[in-house]
Structure 1
Amino acid sequence: MDHKRRALVRALGAGSTLALAGCGGGSGGDGGAPTGNPETPNQPTDPDTPPPSPEPETPVPPNVRFLHGVASGDPLSTQVILWTRITPEEDVEVTVTATVATDPAMTAVVAQYQAVASADGDYCVKVDATGLLPGRWYYYRFEVGQRYSPVGRTRTFPASWKAIDRARFAVVSCSNFPNGYFSVYKAVAELGDLDFVLHLGDYIYEYGAGEYGDFPERVPDPPHEIVTREDYRRRHAQYKTDEDLQALHQQFPMIAIWDDHESANDSWHGGAENHDPLTEGVWEQRKSAARDVYFEWMPIRPREPGNTDIIYRRFHFGDLLDLTLLDTRLDSRDEPLPAVAGSLDPNRNDPDRRLISKAQMDFLLAGLDNARGHWRFIGQQVMFAQLNILEIPGLTPDMKGQLLAVNMDQWDGYTADRDTILKHLEDNRIDNVVVLTGDIHTSWANELYRNPAVLVGDLFARPLAAEFVAPSVTSPGFPDGLAELASVALPVVNPHIRYTELKTHGFILVDVTRGRAQAEFHYVNSIDSYDLRGQLNDRLTKVVAVESGSSRIKEDLPLSRPRTLRTALFHPPVEHNQEEVKS
C-alpha cells in the first residue's frame, strides 16, 4: 500500500489430528491420530516354532537444524495448527515428531504427532494437533533424532457455548524487514497474557533492496523483487529468522490474513500495481506461487488439503466474540480506480463493482446474522470508513456526500459492497460489530455510518459499527509535520473519524468484556535502535472503546488490567530459547 499512502499524503498536503507434507499441506482435523506405544507381541513358547525374523535396523535420522523457530495458529476448541521448518544437511524426506504437553518443561505430555518434511514443501512442517481440550494452554516442540526445536506456547479456544467474560488479543500489520527492527513484535511478545495475536497482513514485502527501506544489515533476501516460488520462499525464510518475530510466534497462537504485499503491491484478482507481465511473467502464476508459499510458511489451516485459494474464515471465542476474517485482495477484487481522481469516476458506485466475491459476502452476512458471540469482530485489510477531502451536500444517494475521496484502494473505491454490509446491519438491527483493519500504516478510530457527510449525512443517528485501524510494525506513515497537521484537518470533513495518529509504529491491544470492546493503541519508542526494541512510549498511548449495544466511540478511558494470575502465572510464557541437542 506504499503508493496509495503516498497518494493520501499528497492529497492531504494539497488540501490541508495429522496434517503435513510441507507447509502447503494441512487439514481441518481429518487424518492420522496421535502416535502411541503399541504393546510388544508375546514371544513364541513352542520350540518347533521358528524364531521371528530380526527387526530391521532403525535408520539414523538425518542431521537437521531448527533455524526458523516455531509457531502456532488458527486455534479451534479442540485443535490448533503447530508449525516449524527444518534445515537438513541433505535433501531427503525427514520424519518430524511434534510433542504437546501441559507444562513448559515438556514433562506432562498429552499427545504426539508425526509429519514428513520434504523439499516439495520447502521442509516446512505443519501439524493440526487434534484431540485437545477446549480453553486450555499447551506447550509444544518438534524433534528429529537428537535435535529439539525451541518450545512454544499455544492454546485452544473455549467452546462456542461456553460462557466467557473476557478476551485479550493484539492486532498488528505491515512489517517491512528493511525498514527497521521489529520492535513492535518484541513489545507484544512481552505482554504475556494475550489469548492470541491477529495479523492483518503485509507480513512480508515483495520489494528488492533499496526499493522500500534501506535499514543497515536488513537487506531483503533475495535482493531483487520476489516473483517466483523460490523467491517467495526465501523472503518468508528471512522474516522467520528475525528474533523478535520468532519470540512473538513462540508465545501466542497467531490468526493471520494476507494483504497485498504477500503477493505484490495493490494486488487484485487479475493483476497488481507492482506486477509487469512483460518482465515478470503471468500474474496468475505469480499469485499462485505467493498463495502456496504463504500457506507453507504460516501457521494457517487450509479449507481442505492443497486449497490455497480461499483464506476467509471464522473463529469463535466461547460465547464472547466471533471473529470473521475477510480477503479483500485476491478473492474477487476488481481493479482499483486511480487515487483521488477515481472518486469522480461513476464506475466507483457501480452496483456490480466488487471488492469481495458474492460467496464471501454471503459468508460474512450469514455470520453476522447467526453470530454465536456477544461481539462480532471483522478482521480485514483496507479501511472501511469513508475518508474524504471534500464533502458536498445534495449529491445523489449513491455518492453518499463524497465528492473527493482519497484512496480508491479502500472500501471508498467499492461503495456498493460497503453499503450492502452497512444496510444489512441497519435493516437487521445487528449491533456490537467492530471492524479491525491494517494496511495503511497509521492509527484510526472511526464510527461507521452509511452516510457520514457533514451537512447531509446521518451523524446524529446511531452509528452502525466501529472501526479500529492498527498502526504498522515498521512500514512508514506520514512525515513529521504533515502527520500532526492531517490529524487536525481530517475530522473537519470526516467527523466520524474520532482519533488518528499518523506516523508512529505500534499495535492495538483489544480487551473485550461483555460490557465493552476496548482498543488500546500502544506505540514503541524506536524501530531504529536495537537496544530500544520493545520499549513503549507511554505518552502516546490512546484508549478508546465502544459499549455493548452502542457503536459510539468513547475516548481516554483507563487502561485494562493484565490477567496476571489467570494467564501469565498459571500458564507462564516460554523463554525465547534456541534449538537444543538431546543430552
Structure 2
Amino acid sequence: MRLKQTVVEQGAVADSSRRNFVIRMASVAAVLGSSGALSACGGSDSGQSGDVAAFNYGVASGDPLADRVILWTHAKTASDQPVRLVWQMAADASFSLLAASGTTTASADSGFTAKVDASGLTANTEYFYRFVAPNNAVSPVGRTRTLPVGDVAEVKLAVFSCSDYPAGYFNAYDAATSSGAQFALHLGDYIYEYKDGVYPPAASAVAARISAPANEIVTLADYRARHALHKADPYAKALHARMPMIAIWDDHEFANNAWMDGAENHNPLTQGSWAARKAIASSVYHEWMPIRSPDPANLLKIYRSFDFGNLLSLHMLDTRIIGREHQPDRSFDAQGRDIADPAFLPYAFNRSKQMMGSTQQSWLDAQMTASKATWQILGNQTVMARIVLPASVLAANLSTASVSAYLTAKGTPAQLRTSTQNDLLDPAKNPKISYNFDSWEGYTDQREQVLASAAKQKAAGKKFAVLSGDSHNAWFNKLTLRDGTQVGAEFAGMSVTSSGFEGVFPPSVFPPATLAATIKSMVDDISYFDSSRRGYMLITVTPAQVKGDYIYVSSVTSSSYTTAVDTLSYAG
C-alpha cells in the first residue's frame, strides 16, 4: 500500500562509512579465519586465475526449521563465469569443527545468487556459516539458528515491513541486530518498484539514497538490480548476517496495490502483461531472499508454517498475490462516486471478495487445527482489525469540524441531541467505512472466516495473535468477530522508512498525538496507535503472553539515531 503523500519532513544526511567499515572488516576476518587452508576449487566453471569472486551483498539465512535452514549469498567474478562455492557451517566463528558443508554454484541463470537448504542440523542451535569461492575468496561470516522443539519458554522475533530505500536509512535493521532477537520476520514491501523520485517525491527523498535502476522496475534485470540495491545496504547486510529471516512479500515486490490479475501501478499497454511481470518479480524474489520454496513448480505459492516447539506456530500468509481479488478503491467506485454519495455504499460493503483464496483458507484452518502449540500467530501483510470511521469524517478528510461534530453528537445524551446529531449517529445515514479497502476491510467475509477459525482454536485452549505490516504506522488492536467477541490481538508494526500518516496529515497542522487520540475515540477496536514514527517491533512470546516492544528510531534521514520504546502485551 502507498499512502497519498503531501508533506514529508527531511533532516540532515549523515555518512554511513562506519557501517561499511564494519562489513568490510567482517569479510577480512573471514579470510583470516580460513588461515589459507582452503585451496582453489578449480574446474571449468571456476573463474580464471586472478578472477576473484566478490561477495558484494553479504550473506543471509532464512526459513529455519528444527533440522535445517536456508543459506544465501551472491558471488560474481569479472568474467561472469559460474562461481563454484563451498558452504560451511560450524558451532564456532573460527570454523574449527564443521557441522555441515557442501557445494553450490552461483551463475547467471540465478542472477549470481546461490541458495542452499542446509540439513542435518541440531534443533535450537546457533551456527556460524560462510561461503568459499575459488582463489580462497571468502564471504562474510553469518550467524543463524534452528528452531526449538518440545517445551519452549520464550521466543524473540524482530518484525519489519515497508523498507523504502530512498525514504531513508534502515536504522531499524541496525537497532534490531543488538536487540536480542533470535529471528527476523519481514512482512512485505522489502523493496519498492517505483521510478526514482516518485515515492517518496524527489524533494522528500534522502539525498544519499538513490534508487537503482532509476526507472520503475519491470524487467528481470530491473528487479534484480533493485533487490541488489537493498542487499548492498550495510544495515541490511548486518541484519541478515546476524539472524535468520522469515519473509513474505506484499505489493511493492511486484507493483503498488497488486492483486491476482493486476495492480494499480501496472499499465499493460506500456509495461506488458501482468502475468509476465508477476512471474519475473516472484522469480527474482526467490533468487534474492533466503526463502524456501514450498512448491518449486509454482513460485507464486509462498504461504507456509513454522513450529517453535509447543509454544508457537507461526503461519505466514500471502494475502496479496495468490488469491486476492480486485480491491475496491478507498475513495471512489468505478462510476466515480465517492464516500459522500449513498450510491457508493454497496460498493464499499461488498463483503464477499477473497483476499487469500479458498485454498489458502483451508490450508490455514488445517494448520491451526493440527498444531499443538499454545499460540497460533499469523504473519500477515495488511492490518486485519476493524478500523472504520464515520463517512462524514472520511469525506471531510478528518477535518477538525467533522471530527468535532461527530464526537459532540456521540457525547450528547440521546434526549438532548438535535436531528443533525441523530443523523450523524445513524448508521444508515452516516455509516462507518474503512479508510483503506486494500486492507482486510475490503475483504470482510474472509476476515470473519479467519477469526471464526481462531475462535474455534480458542475454544480448544489455543491463543491467537496476528503480526501485520503495510500501513507504515504502529497499532495494537483487538480482533473481534462481527458480534463483538474478541478472539485475539493484532500487533501491527510501523515501517522501516516509508512515510505514514504524517505524510498525509502534516504534524505542524495535525499533531500526531491529536490524530491518534482522534482516531482511537472513533474506533472501538484500537487500543494503541502511533501515526508518525518509524522502527520495528520486538515480539516476545511466552506461554503466558505475547509482548510487543514498539521500538522507534529518532530519524531515518540520518544514520545516527536514538531509540524509544512503547510496550503492549496480550495474554490471550
User: What CA distance in whole angstroms lies between the structure 1 residues aligned with 2:44 and 2:281?
Assistant: 36
User: Is the Cα–Cα contact under 8 Å of residues 247 and 291 in structure 2 kept in the other structure?
Assistant: yes
User: Is the Cα–Cα contact under 8 Å of residues 66 and 122 in structure 2 kept in the other structure?
Assistant: yes
Of residues 283-292 and 387-396 in structure 1, the stretch that sits farther from structure 2 once superposed is: 387-396
Normalising by structure 2, we get a TM-score of: 0.80
Whether 2:246 is the aligned partner of 1:223: answer no
CA deviation string 1:15-61 (max 9, x = no partner): xxxxxxxxxxxxxxxxxxxxxxxxxxxxxxxxxxxxxxxxx985693
User: Is the Cα–Cα contact under 8 Å of residues 348 and 415 in structure 1 kept in the other structure?
Assistant: no
Which of 315, 318, 322 does residue 324 from structure 1 map onto?
Answer: 315
User: Is the Cα–Cα contact under 8 Å of residues 264 and 272 in structure 1 kept in the other structure?
Assistant: yes
AA aligned opposite 1:194: A
Distance 1:304-1:448 versus aligned 2 partners, 3 A rule: closer
The residue number in structure 1 matching 2:120 is 131
User: What CA distance in whole angstroms lies between the structure 1 residues aligned with 2:431 and 2:123?
Assistant: 47
User: What CA distance in whole angstroms lies between the structure 2 residues aligned with 1:203 and 1:230?
Assistant: 17
AA aligned opposite 1:501: D
The residue number in structure 2 matching 1:13 is none
User: What CA distance in whole angstroms lies between the structure 1 residues aligned with 2:44 and 2:215?
Assistant: 41
Which of 144, 152, 164 does residue 142 from structure 2 map onto?
Answer: 152
User: What CA distance in whole angstroms lies between the structure 2 residues aligned with 1:447 and 1:438?
Assistant: 16
Gaps of 5+ in 1: 10-55, 452-456, 551-583
User: What CA distance in whole angstroms lies between the structure 2 residues aligned with 1:57 and 1:311?
Assistant: 36
Deviation of 1:106 (Å)? 1.6
User: What CA distance in whole angstroms lies between the structure 1 residues aligned with 2:570 and 2:207?
Assistant: 42
Whether 2:100 is the aligned partner of 1:111: answer yes
User: What CA distance in whole angstroms lies between the structure 2 residues aligned with 1:470 and 1:275?
Assistant: 27
CA deviation string 1:241-280 (max 9, x = no partner): 1000000000000000001000000000010011111111
Of residues 424-433 and 376-385 in structure 1, the stretch that sits farther from structure 2 once superposed is: 424-433
User: What CA distance in whole angstroms lies between the structure 2 residues aligned with 1:471 and 1:257?
Assistant: 16
Q: How many residues align?
A: 481
User: Is the Cα–Cα contact under 8 Å of residues 355 and 417 in structure 1 kept in the other structure?
Assistant: yes
User: Is the Cα–Cα contact under 8 Å of residues 350 and 442 in structure 2 kept in the other structure?
Assistant: no
The residue number in structure 2 matching 1:34 is none
Deviation of 1:118 (Å)? 1.1
Whether 2:200 is the aligned partner of 1:200: answer no
Deviation of 1:369 (Å)? 1.7
User: What CA distance in whole angstroms lies between the structure 2 residues aligned with 1:85 and 1:405?
Assistant: 43
Deviation of 1:348 (Å)? 4.9
The residue number in structure 2 matching 1:77 is 66
CA deviation string 1:64-83 (max 9, x = no partner): 10000000000001000000
CA deviation string 1:214-261 (max 9, x = no partner): 211211000010011110000001111100000000000000000100
Normalising by structure 1, we get a TM-score of: 0.79
AA aligned opposite 1:543: T
User: Is the Cα–Cα contact under 8 Å of residues 163 and 320 in structure 1 kept in the other structure?
Assistant: yes
Deviation of 1:489 (Å)? 0.8
CA deviation string 1:189-208 (max 9, x = no partner): 122x3220000010000011
The residue number in structure 1 matching 2:197 is 210
Which of 490, 500, 504 does residue 467 from structure 1 map onto?
Answer: 490
Distance 1:58-1:85 versus aligned 2 partners, 3 A rule: closer
Tell me the SS of whatever aligns to 2:529.
Answer: strand
User: Is the Cα–Cα contact under 8 Å of residues 45 and 82 in structure 2 kept in the other structure?
Assistant: no
The residue number in structure 1 matching 2:37 is none
Gaps of 5+ in 2: 9-40, 334-338, 392-423
Which of 485, 489, 501 does residue 478 from structure 1 map onto?
Answer: 501
User: Is the Cα–Cα contact under 8 Å of residues 316 and 372 in structure 1 kept in the other structure?
Assistant: no
AA aligned opposite 1:128: D
Tell me the SS of whatever aligns to 2:218.
Answer: coil
Aligned ranges 1:254-333 → 2 under 5 Å:
254-333=245-324
AA aligned opposite 1:156: T
Tell me the SS of whatever aligns to 1:140.
Answer: strand
Of residues 198-207 and 101-110 in structure 1, the stretch that sits farther from structure 2 once superposed is: 101-110
CA deviation string 1:164-201 (max 9, x = no partner): 1111111111001001111111001122x322000001
The residue number in structure 2 matching 1:371 is 371
Whether 2:450 is the aligned partner of 1:418: answer no
Structure with higher helix content: 2
User: What CA distance in whole angstroms lies between the structure 2 residues aligned with 1:333 and 1:154?
Assistant: 33
Which of 545, 563, 576 does residue 569 from structure 2 map onto?
Answer: 545
Aligned ranges 1:330-479 → 2 under 5 Å:
330-341=321-332, 344-350=344-350, 352-390=352-390, 403-427=432-456, 429=459, 431-451=462-482, 458=484, 461=485, 463-479=486-502
Deviation of 1:409 (Å)? 0.4
The residue number in structure 2 matching 1:577 is none
User: What CA distance in whole angstroms lies between the structure 2 residues aligned with 1:57 and 1:131?
Assistant: 27
User: What CA distance in whole angstroms lies between the structure 1 residues aligned with 2:362 and 2:347?
Assistant: 23
The residue number in structure 1 matching 2:518 is 489
User: What CA distance in whole angstroms lies between the structure 2 residues aligned with 1:375 and 1:390?
Assistant: 34
Whether 2:157 is the aligned partner of 1:179: answer no
Distance 1:73-1:346 versus aligned 2 partners, 3 A rule: same
Distance 1:426-1:90 versus aligned 2 partners, 3 A rule: same
**RMSD of aligned residue pairs (Cα, Å):** 2.2
| Paired-residue identity, % | 37
Deviation of 1:393 (Å)? 7.3
User: Is the Cα–Cα contact under 8 Å of residues 188 and 247 in structure 2 kept in the other structure?
Assistant: yes
Whether 2:553 is the aligned partner of 1:524: answer yes
The residue number in structure 2 matching 1:87 is 76
CA deviation string 1:409-432 (max 9, x = no partner): 011011110111222333552541
User: Is the Cα–Cα contact under 8 Å of residues 139 and 154 in structure 1 kept in the other structure?
Assistant: yes
User: What CA distance in whole angstroms lies between the structure 2 residues aligned with 1:340 and 1:405?
Assistant: 10
User: What CA distance in whole angstroms lies between the structure 2 residues aligned with 1:150 and 1:402?
Assistant: 56
AA aligned opposite 2:251: D
Deviation of 1:109 (Å)? 1.0
The residue number in structure 2 matching 1:511 is 540
AA aligned opposite 1:493: M
CA deviation string 1:403-456 (max 9, x = no partner): 3221110110111101112223335525411100000100000001123xxxxx
User: What CA distance in whole angstroms lies between the structure 1 residues aligned with 2:85 and 2:557?
Assistant: 38
User: What CA distance in whole angstroms lies between the structure 1 residues aligned with 2:80 and 2:425?
Assistant: 67
User: What CA distance in whole angstroms lies between the structure 2 residues aligned with 1:402 and 1:371?
Assistant: 39
User: What CA distance in whole angstroms lies between the structure 1 residues aligned with 2:273 and 2:467?
Assistant: 33
User: What CA distance in whole angstroms lies between the structure 2 residues aligned with 1:349 and 1:367?
Assistant: 30
Tell me the SS of whatever aligns to 2:295.
Answer: coil
User: What CA distance in whole angstroms lies between the structure 1 residues aligned with 2:447 and 2:374?
Assistant: 23
The residue number in structure 1 matching 2:417 is none
Tell me the SS of whatever aligns to 1:315.
Answer: strand
User: What CA distance in whole angstroms lies between the structure 1 residues aligned with 2:42 and 2:58?
Assistant: 31
User: What CA distance in whole angstroms lies between the structure 1 residues aligned with 2:213 and 2:474?
Assistant: 31
Deviation of 1:347 (Å)? 4.8
Distance 1:207-1:58 versus aligned 2 partners, 3 A rule: closer
CA deviation string 1:552-583 (max 9, x = no partner): xxxxxxxxxxxxxxxxxxxxxxxxxxxxxxxx
User: Is the Cα–Cα contact under 8 Å of residues 97 and 113 in structure 1 kept in the other structure?
Assistant: yes
Deviation of 1:485 (Å)? 2.4
Tell me the SS of whatever aligns to 2:501.
Answer: coil
Tell me the SS of whatever aligns to 1:88.
Answer: coil
